[in-house]
Amino acid sequence: MKLHAWPASPYVRKVLAMAVETGLREQIELIRTNPGDPDSPIGEDNPIGKIPTLITDEGDALYDSRVICEYLDGLHEGPRMFPPAGPERWQASRWAALGDGILDAAVLRMYERRRPEGERSPDWDVRQREKVFRILDQLEKDEMKTFGKGMNIGLIAIACALGYLDFRFPDEKWRLPHQGVGMWFFTFGKQPLMADTEPVEAI
C-alpha cells in the first residue's frame, strides 16, 4: 500500500498510529505529498486534494483518514479498533468525531496564521479556539471517565489531536484546565503508536 503523507499532518499521524497499533506499518510505503503545493499531483488520486490518501494494493484510492483507518482495521487479526455496531461502537465513533473536531479547528487556525497579515480574522481564530476548548471541556467533564486503559479509533483520534495541540499551540497550555485528560495522554502517549509517529516540521 502507498500513502500520500506529509510529516506534520495530524490526520496522517492518525493513520500511521493505527498502522503501528495493528502491525501493518511495514506494509505502507509513504509518498511525500505536500497538498499545499499547487503543483502537487494529489488531485489525481483524491479530488478533495487532501492527505492522507491511501492507494491500496489493488490500486484503489481511499480517503479520508477515518475511512483509511477503517480499511486498515479489516486487514489485521488483532483486536478491532472499530468495535462492532452497538454502544461501544457509537462511543468510539463519538470520540473519533471529537478528536477530528479538535483537529479540524486547529488545522484551520494554522491555515489562517499563514495568510498575509491584513487578511487574517482574529474573530474567526477565537471561534476556532473556542471549539477546541469546548471539546476539551467535554472530554474532561464526561468522556474521559470511560477512557480506561482501552484502545480504539476514538482514543487514537483524540491522542493525535492532543499531540497536534502540543506541536502547534504549545503556548496555549491546554492541560491547565484539563488535567485529567493531560494525565490520560501522558500514559497513552508513551505507547509505540504515539512514540513512533511524532509529528515533524517539514519544508
Ligand X SMILES: N[C@@H](CCC(=O)N[C@@H](CS)C(=O)NCC(=O)O)C(=O)O
- Site residues for ligand X per CB under 6 A: 9, 11, 35, 49-52, 64-66, 107
Report helix angle 10-21 to 65-73, nearest 10.
10
Shortest Å distance, C-beta 71 to ligand X: 13
DSSP β-bridge partners for residue 3? 30, 54
Q: Which is nearer to ligand X, 106 or 139 (CB)?
A: 106
- Asked whether the beta carbons of 50 and 64 are under 8 A apart, the reply is yes
What is the closest distance, in whole angstroms, from the C-beta atom of residue 148 to ligand X in the complex?
A: 25
Q: 83 or 199: whose CB is closer to ligand X?
A: 199
CB atoms within 10 A of CB 61: 14
User: Considering beta carbons, is residue 52 or 163 the nearer one to ligand X?
Assistant: 52
Of 52 and 83, which CB lies nearer to ligand X in the complex structure? 52
C-alpha cell at 38: 499547487
Minimum CB separation from ligand X for residue 26, in Å? Answer: 22
| Distant-in-sequence, close-in-space partners of 14: CB < 8 Å, separation ≥ 6 | 52, 65, 69, 99, 156, 157, 160
> Smallest distance from the beta carbon of 100 to ligand X, in angstroms?
6
Please identify, using beta-carbon distances, which residue of 18 and 178 lies nearer to ligand X: 18
DSSP letter assigned to residue 62? E
Minimal distance in Å, beta carbon 130 to ligand X?
A: 20
Are 63 and 71 in contact by the 8 Å Cβ rule? The answer is no
SS3 content of the chain, % helix, strand, coil (to 5): 55, 5, 35
Q: Is residue 36 helix, strand or coil?
A: coil
